[in-house]
Structure 1
Amino acid sequence: MIAEKPSWVRHEGMQIFSIDVQPGALRFVTGGGDHKVRIWNMKSVSRDMENDESSQRLLATLRDHFGSVNCVRWAKHGRYVASGSDNQVILVHERKPGSGTTEFGSGEPPDIENWKVVMTLRGHTADVVDLNWSPDDSTLASASLDNTIHIWNMSNGICIAVLRGHSSLVKGVTWDPIGSFIASQSDDKTVIIWRTSDWSLVHRTDGHWEKSLGSTFFRRLGWSPCGHFITTTHGFQKPRHSAPVLERGEWSATFDFLGHNAPIIVVKFNHSMFRRNSSNAQDVKSAPVGWANGSSKTESKEPQPYNVIAVGSQDRNITVWTTASPRPLFVAKHFFTQSVVDLSWSPDGYSLFACSLDGSVATFHFEVKELGQRLSDTELDELKKSRYGDGRGRQANLAESAAQLLLEAASAKRKSNKKGSVVQQNQKMAKGVGNNDQKVLVLAATNTPYALDQVHLGDTPHNLTEGDFEHLARKTEGFSGSDVAVCVKDVLFEPVRKTQDAMFFFKNHEGMWIPCGPKQQSAVQITMQDLAAKGLASKILPPPISRTDFDKVLARQRPTVSKSDLDVHERFTKEFGEEG
């Protein structure tokens, strides 16, 4: 490994808050406390041309923000670079023909390249601190200190969703490489998973960050290129700070990168995965079970691909880990005098760029023998396709596999002859919960994408207790019958969502495969797609509805009628009766 500190990369002595390498490896960009975005020539930090003074270092300085630039991110096609600032706006820049200009009276030479703002995104009411492009560059997610995440359609610059679920400053956002979810991390010490098809809150994970100490500028979490893991920031396991790793589907911490002496601010997965030569595969055996690539628990003579991740901390250090080993591959100390706040990998996967609040940048160049052999883009795409199917153009509200289509077909067979029953249940539901709260579960049972052969409560799969019904009655106080109906319809899809996202199943005594967590006895690491490929789609059994499913849905639903409206309805019912 060769480390360098290019002293000429600076922002007028101010902090550098963000750095990102262009996918085409021609440029890298920085954003700083001087309110500027600066675009630099990658050739000037290349090992082959490090002493070539003829290469132009600074290509352009973009002066369009009126506040510190907290985040800069290239689109994956490399044409646009987005920047978020303290002035609450996001700017999207594009290179135009010709040379650039200079700031009047600055005495600086004109820019080598001509970069212009082509889109201004307004909507946040506080600092924008993190950005992330969707896998296909069609959408941009922005995290802000206004406690929200905004979702932007990049074809027209319109905000298509505002995600409200955090109770404090949102300081990190990352996109699932499969395209089905985004994840956000906040000062409220939670991580939230959001579904991209309808922008609903899928899961809120807490507990892993409750003991975290202090505050940091950012909580920049990252999603692994295989799509299976999210590494978060700001965890704490006494006496060390950690980066808890969440597993797809269960969304619970299965592993921690442990060892820093101060809060972790940023994590960055390498864009690709790597594979050791067979002669060096001995370290793979020491990896945590099921963690190396999320594909197999069983040992194999063939070296398994693994992820590489860099971690930056308030302790001014950087660690680089491979998920094929429980020990860090590399620890960088004494390169910075203040916190490490952003990281970026080069497209070839063998160079790491880092920036710090001390206003400097460092680069670390690795050898193949250190990180391993990089998987080609085709190999990585095939790995993801084998796990999640073809994700191109995916909408998460559509069936993602043959298995899900088979699950949906089961209810379609009986849909026509159950319409009368559903209408009757809807009529009962319009009167409210009434004296029998259990009727909540019956509504629209035939609309679930798996077979519920009877509409009677006794045959509806759930594990709710009387105490749970009382709990739900309290949480739905003020809800109209229509509100409850919407809630129930959403809840009825939760088991299928869990089944679709699950990475572990166990086989019950009846030969049915039920989704579970990795710690479940007899758990097998397999997906719904794998089971379908084995001809077992008809043996997949979604889990029963639980109180947690209701709590998850109710966390994002509010009553659509006011108390005064309900009082009017109650007076009308007393005077005229329920039949009108």
Structure 2
Amino acid sequence: MRGGTVQINWHEQQPVLTLDFHPVSRRLATGGSDHDIKIWVIASDDSDKKLPTATYHSSLSSHSSAVNVLRFSPSGGGIIIWKLHSTDDGEAWKVQKTLLFHHKDVLDLQWSQDGAFLVSASVDNSCIVWDAIKGSVQQKLEGHLHYVQGVAWDPLGQYIASLSSDRTCRIYANKPQGKSKNTDRMNFVCQHTLVKAEHQNHDESKPPVRAHLFHDETLPSFFRRLAWSPDGSFLVLPAGLCKYSSEVINTAYVMSRRDLSRPAIQLPGASKAIVAVRFCPVLFKLRGSQSDCFFKLPYRVIFAVATLNSLYVYDTESVAPILIHAGLHYAAITDIAWSSDAKYLAVSSRDCFCTIIEFENEELGLPYNLSGTKELAEGNTNCENMKPLKVDSMEIDAGSSKAKIKASSAAVEVTPSPPVLAQNNILMTKDVAEGNATSENDRPSAVDNMEVDVGENKAKMEVTPVAVQVTAPPVSTKNSASSKPTKKRITPIAIN
């Protein structure tokens, strides 16, 4: 594994707000505050210890404000859908549809699995389900009281989840109306609203207390990008916080598909708030090296979690993260993207640069061919069958400038054959949708002046079959800095 910040002019020295890999090629699309989408070709550098290369390919310029989010269709202010047209000179992108219904700017969007629909989240406190083929509004989802900063569509098509700065997550279930007519027409109804959770009081003699699950609107980011696993078995929610006594811990919540009314697991330990989650589109075969994992799955799922200043990569067969990359950027991270073959992991930032991490062939494992997706998803993650936690897997020293993560040898094992694309990633088109960013007048002052702890511009990382070590900023379990050095062992926690 190798990677780092690619020092090129991505968006005319403007913040890079979003990025996404093409579903069948290694083209990377980025969107920024310069109002443009740019297409890049990502390739490996054969030289030893060289970063992957990003070569500019083309620009998509038809936007009146910054581009907050873009996502390629899995089947190959406003939202613009672009379509690829071949020309003698190579390729040209043309506007296929412009979807206008939101009263204010769009912060996040997600395609349905078949690419026929998409859902968008907006500053106008609502989500809209669009018919991408007709270009019409299918349904408007209301209920949030503040900006909707993240939205995710269940790959099985049953649920839509939205996350807002009003400190709530809403789970919408598809319940078509009518006995015979319009049975195929979507009708999403709010099934669960996650607001607070019950925690054991620090003083055991006192009754449990209820506390908010998520950060409020003072979180210095426009984005809370949640995500479903590729098989739909679980949902990961960013922007979480957990308060024990006087400590406030940043966390992400894992929701089991079997019970979307409450979190099953939390992933604590980040020194800054978590703002984005993205799953690797390829599933991997079990290695059989970890018996104390939380997920009863016949395969391994890998996902990346981004805080304001660091990147964590988790494996469902491992308790601790298999990779932590810190000190990458001087400003906040804004988005994460995986290439369709799991070869590259890309991160964008408001400091105008992107980081690209390249994995060796089968470094993450042997691909698993998924079949019977629906049956597998319904029988997977179950908080009732969680195994006991072990606290010796991950050690964070808050008084040191280095975070050392202990992982098993299987977490970084390298074997020599090329990765195979998951079967459900092959039938994909080349459409891309994007949403415009909030205008300058709507932008909280905290965003432009946000502080991110960065020890060094580039993280030092040593990858061996035993452990991954990076140079990281000082780590604290509190939101505010502490002058007292403390040492804590932190692992994911099962919530009873």
Q: Which TM-score applies when normalising by structure 2?
A: 0.67
Q: Which residue of 2 aligns with 1:23?
A: 23
Shift of 1:49: 9.1
Q: Deviations over 1:348-382 (max 9, x none)?
A: 12321110111111111223564222213xxx233
Please tell me whether residue 286 in structure 1 is matched to residue 279 in structure 2.
no
* Contact 2:168 2:195 survives alignment (8 Å): yes
Q: 1:381 aligns with which of 362, 365, 371?
A: 371
Please tell me whether residue 268 in structure 1 is matched to residue 289 in structure 2.
no
| Partner SS, residue 238 of structure 2 | coil
* Contact 2:13 2:352 survives alignment (8 Å): yes
Q: 1:202 aligns with which of 191, 202, 224?
A: 191
Q: Which residue of 2 aligns with 1:151?
A: 129
Q: Deviations over 1:15-73 (max 9, x none)?
A: 0000000011241100000011111123xx33459999xx9922211111110100010
Q: Deviations over 1:359-410 (max 9, x none)?
A: 111111223564222213xxx233x14336xxxxxxxxxxxxxxxxxxxxxx
Q: Which residue of 2 aligns with 1:248?
A: 257
Shift of 1:117: 0.5
| Partner SS, residue 289 of structure 2 | helix
Q: 1:93 aligns with which of 79, 82, 96?
A: 82
* Contact 1:292 1:306 survives alignment (8 Å): no
| Partner SS, residue 253 of structure 1 | coil
Shift of 1:225: 1.2
Shift of 1:282: 2.5
Q: Which residue of 1 aligns with 2:5?
A: 5
Q: Which residue of 2 aligns with 1:46?
A: 44
* Contact 1:349 1:374 survives alignment (8 Å): no
Q: Counterpart amino acid of 1:212? A: H
Q: Which TM-score applies when normalising by structure 1?
A: 0.57
Q: 2:226 aligns with which of 221, 229, 233?
A: 221
Question: Using the alignment, how far apart are the partners of 1:520 and 1:60 within structure 2?
Answer: 50
* Contact 1:35 1:63 survives alignment (8 Å): yes
Shift of 1:502: 8.6
Question: Using the alignment, how far apart are the partners of 1:31 and 1:263 within structure 2?
Answer: 23
Shift of 1:168: 1.2
Question: Higher relative contact order by CA 8 Å / sep ≥ 6: 1 or 2?
Answer: 2
Q: Deviations over 1:277-329 (max 9, x none)?
A: 3xxx232x1212xx243xxxxxxxxxx41211101111x11010111111110
Pair 1:250–1:51, CA change in 2 (3 A):
closer
* Contact 2:165 2:215 survives alignment (8 Å): no
Q: How does 1:459-474 map to 2 (within 5 A)?
A: none
Question: Using the alignment, how far apart are the partners of 2:265 and 2:154 within structure 1?
Answer: 19
Q: Counterpart amino acid of 2:112? A: S
Q: 1:129 aligns with which of 91, 95, 107?
A: 107
Pair 1:370–1:207, CA change in 2 (3 A):
farther
Pair 1:369–1:39, CA change in 2 (3 A):
closer
Question: Using the alignment, how far apart are the partners of 1:386 and 1:127 within structure 2?
Answer: 38
Q: Name which one, 1 or 2, has greater alpha-carbon Rg.
A: 1
Question: Using the alignment, how far apart are the partners of 1:141 and 1:211 within structure 2?
Answer: 22
Pair 1:123–1:364, CA change in 2 (3 A):
same
Pair 1:519–1:75, CA change in 2 (3 A):
same
Q: Which residue of 2 aligns with 1:413?
A: none
Question: Using the alignment, how far apart are the partners of 1:356 and 1:60 within structure 2?
Answer: 21
Shift of 1:203: 1.5
Q: Which moved more, 1:174-183 or 1:366-375?
A: 366-375
% identity of equivalent residues: 29
Please tell me whether residue 319 in structure 1 is matched to residue 324 in structure 2.
no
Q: Which residue of 2 aligns with 1:426?
A: none
Shift of 1:205: 1.7
Structure richer in strand, relative to its length:
2
Shift of 1:184: 0.7
Q: Which residue of 2 aligns with 1:212?
A: 215
Please tell me whether residue 362 in structure 1 is matched to residue 355 in structure 2.
yes
Pair 1:173–1:358, CA change in 2 (3 A):
same
Q: Which residue of 2 aligns with 1:467?
A: none
Q: Which residue of 2 aligns with 1:349?
A: 342
Shift of 1:331: 0.6
Q: Counterpart amino acid of 2:352? A: G
Structure richer in helix, relative to its length:
1
Pair 1:57–1:375, CA change in 2 (3 A):
same
Question: Using the alignment, how far apart are the partners of 2:213 and 2:54 within structure 1?
Answer: 48
Q: Deviations over 1:501-537 (max 9, x none)?
A: 7979xxxxxxxxxxxx84499xxxxxxxxxxxxxxxx
* Contact 1:59 1:113 survives alignment (8 Å): no
Shift of 1:91: 0.4
What is the number of equivalent residue pairs in this alignment? 352
| Partner SS, residue 386 of structure 1 | helix
Q: Which residue of 2 aligns with 1:182?
A: 160
* Contact 2:75 2:113 survives alignment (8 Å): no
Question: Using the alignment, how far apart are the partners of 1:160 and 1:10 within structure 2?
Answer: 35
Question: Using the alignment, how far apart are the partners of 1:370 and 1:26 within structure 2?
Answer: 18
Q: Deviations over 1:179-201 (max 9, x none)?
A: 11111111111111112331111
* Contact 1:175 1:181 survives alignment (8 Å): yes
Pair 1:49–1:198, CA change in 2 (3 A):
farther
Question: Using the alignment, how far apart are the partners of 1:206 and 1:21 within structure 2?
Answer: 33
Q: Deviations over 1:429-481 (max 9, x none)?
A: xxxxxxxxxxxxxxxxxxxxxxxxxxxxxxxxxxxxxxxxxxxxxxxxxxxxx
Q: Structure 2: state its 5+ residue gaps.
A: 175-185, 198-211, 387-496
* Contact 1:219 1:266 survives alignment (8 Å): yes
Q: 1:309 aligns with which of 303, 313, 321?
A: 303
Question: Using the alignment, how far apart are the partners of 1:211 and 1:232 within structure 2?
Answer: 9
Q: Counterpart amino acid of 1:387? A: L
